[in-house]
Amino acid sequence: MSVCEFSVRRAEISDSAELARLIHRLAEYEKMSDKCTADPESVARMMNEENGLRGIIAEKDGKAVGMAVFSLYKLATFSGKRVLYIEDIFVESEMRGLGIGKAIFDEIILTAKKLDCIKIEWKCLAWNKSARGFYEKAGGISDPEWLTYTLDLRKD
């Protein structure tokens, strides 16, 4: 078996086109392409905002093959610390199983520790058993006591 060489680094605003491309690939995978309107300009705008979008890029042979995008909650009131929230994590299907996802996740953990966060949170679609297995292997646990509610502001 050959070794897959790749690098993982912090995403810069100049990566907004690649992040938008990978976000669309994730939307395809999750069968939500019709809801995905991200474009390089909107990604760059969010990256420019204070406490806005932050990201990690995984590259192989100079091409982005994986990413994570996240933000920081300002409030974890009981502890007085921040919470890092992973919005999306994605690795191109042909690159899965090579350690890229783990490297991205490890970089997020390091980032959260550097920023003195108390915890990391994320969501996972119930049907995505491979992602759930990945997260559980990484030490993530689902919390049955806290339900997630959303209010879709795109509706009238």
pLDDT in tens, 97-127: 999 999 999 999 999 999 999 999 999 888 8
Q: Specify the residue for token string 């390089």.
A: 40
At residue 20, the pLDDT reads: 97
Distant-in-sequence, close-in-space partners of 55: CB < 8 Å, separation ≥ 6: 10, 11, 15, 19, 47, 67, 68, 69, 70
139: amino acid identity, one letter: G
pTM: 0.87
**Token couple for 130:** 């491979």
Q: Which of 55, 68, 57 is nearest to 26 (CA)?
A: 68
What b-and-e string marks burial along 38-58, b requiring 16 or more CB atoms within 10 Å of the CB?
Answer: bebeebbebbeeeeebbbbbb
Domain boundaries, the chain: 7-137
Architecture of domain 7-137: 3-Layer(aba) Sandwich (3.40)
